């Protein structure tokens, strides 16, 4: 069972004080269009661009680097792997799990990738229960699997000021209700970053 503490005590808004820093947690962090997509139809994300929002940006943008510092395990879906997103995690000393029903042979120099075809939720649950801080990188299919199993403790969603109209959705709509509380927020270049924890 993960323990949740609230963020912002004493004015601190570092991720070091959020659920993501605590032992035993499963957190996701993604950028989402205002209409709920994390990628366009081709899987692209060139729509995630900084748009100045002078006078609105918060002092602390809750940067990704601070979030990642607290992470022990990164979990991503096969589509993200096929895009090469796993390469950003080479050499960081974190466990990297890729969910896929048909694991490929490891590419040269990519022995750090751990392909999982059976019960990825159970494997990540075991890591969480052993005190690991697990980051659900995405994409939407993988996230939906964890939401459907009620296995998400915290979410950071950065709302990007665009209506894509179509694309790859973050939420597939097949999960049970998940009640949340806001623990932090930030505004950065017209993106609104919302940090939630499970209630
Ligand atoms: N906006 C953001 O912040 C953000 C963040 C991350 C990713 N993305 C984008 O999201 C897109 C990818 O998302 P996506 O929803 O299309 O795909 P995805 O979740 O990355 O991958 C889906 C695939 O992962 C495997 N998979 C997922 N759950 C599984 C499970 N429980 N057991 C076994 N295998 C499982 C399956 O692979 P098999 O078909 O091999 O079985 C499935 O087809 C990319 O375009 C990426 O750039 C955006």
Q: Give 60-126 as a DSSP string.
A: ----HHHHHHT-SEEEEEHHHHHTTGGGGGTTS--EEEEE-SSPPPPPTT-TTEEEE-S-HHHHHHH
Asked if residue 16 has pLDDT above 80, the reply is no
**pLDDT for residue 8:** 31
Cα of 89 to ligand 1 centre, how many Å?
17
Asked if residue 147 has pLDDT above 50, the reply is yes
Asked if residue 17 has pLDDT above 50, the reply is no
- Per-residue pLDDT, averaged over 44-52, amounts to 97
Residue 142 contacts by C-beta under 8 Å, 6 or more apart in sequence? Answer: 75, 76, 77, 80, 99, 120, 136
Phi/psi class of residue 16: alpha, beta or left (left: φ > 0; alpha: ψ in -120 to 50)?
alpha
**pLDDT for residue 22:** 63
**pLDDT for residue 5:** 29
Q: DSSP assignment, residue 16?
A: G
* Residue ranges around ligand 1 (CB below 6 Å): 30-31, 38-39, 43, 45, 77-80, 83, 99-102, 117, 120, 137-142, 145, 168
Ligand 1: nearest atom to the Cα of 160: 1
Q: Decide yes or no: CATH 3.40.430.10 for domain 9-34+49-198.
A: yes
Which residue among 68, 97, 100 has the greatest number of ligand 1 atoms within 8 angstroms of its CB, and so is best to mutate?
Answer: 100
Residue 7 contacts by C-beta under 8 Å, 6 or more apart in sequence? Answer: 13, 17, 18, 183, 184, 195
Cα of 92 to ligand 1 centre, how many Å?
22
**pLDDT for residue 68:** 96
Percent of the chain with pLDDT over 70: 89
Nearest CA to ligand 1 atom 37: 100
- Per-residue pLDDT, averaged over 160-180, amounts to 96
Asked if residue 74 has pLDDT above 60, the reply is yes
Ligand 1: nearest atom to the Cα of 30: 3
CB 110 within 8 A of CB 90: yes
Confidence of residue 4 (pLDDT cuts 50, 70, 90): very low
Ligand 1: nearest atom to the Cα of 116: 33
Cα of 85 to ligand 1 centre, how many Å?
11
- Per-residue pLDDT, averaged over 145-171, amounts to 97
CA dist., res. 84 & res. 187, Å (int): 29
Asked if residue 150 has pLDDT above 60, the reply is yes
**pLDDT for residue 23:** 80
Nearest CA to ligand 1 atom 14: 139
What is the residue-averaged pLDDT of the chain? 90
Q: What is the pTM (predicted TM-score) of this model?
A: 0.91
Cα of 140 to ligand 1 centre, how many Å?
6
**pLDDT for residue 21:** 56
């Amino acid at each position: 069972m993960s323990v949740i503490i609230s963020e912002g005590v004493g004015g601190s808004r570092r991720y070091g004080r959020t659920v993501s820093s605590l032992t035993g947690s499963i957190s996701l962090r993604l950028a989402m269009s205002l209409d709920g997509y994390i990628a366009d139809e081709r899987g692209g994300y060139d729509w995630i661009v900084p748009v100045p929002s002078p006078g609105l940006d918060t002092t602390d943008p809750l940067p990704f680097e601070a979030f990642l510092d607290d992470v022990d395990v990164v979990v991503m879906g096969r589509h993200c792997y096929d895009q090469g997103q796993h390469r950003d995690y080479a050499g960081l000393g974190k466990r990297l799990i890729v969910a896929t029903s048909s694991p490929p042979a490891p590419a040269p120099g990519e022995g750090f990738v751990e392909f999982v075809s059976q019960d990825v939720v159970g494997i990540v649950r075991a890591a969480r229960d052993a005190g690991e801080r697990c980051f659900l990188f995405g994409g939407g299919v993988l996230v939906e699997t964890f939401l459907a199993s009620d296995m998400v403790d915290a979410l950071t969603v950065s709302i990007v000021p665009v209506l894509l109209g179509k694309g790859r959705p973050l939420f597939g709509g097949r999960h049970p209700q998940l009640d949340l509380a806001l623990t932090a927020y930030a505004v950065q270049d017209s993106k609104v970053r919302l940090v939630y924890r499970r209630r």
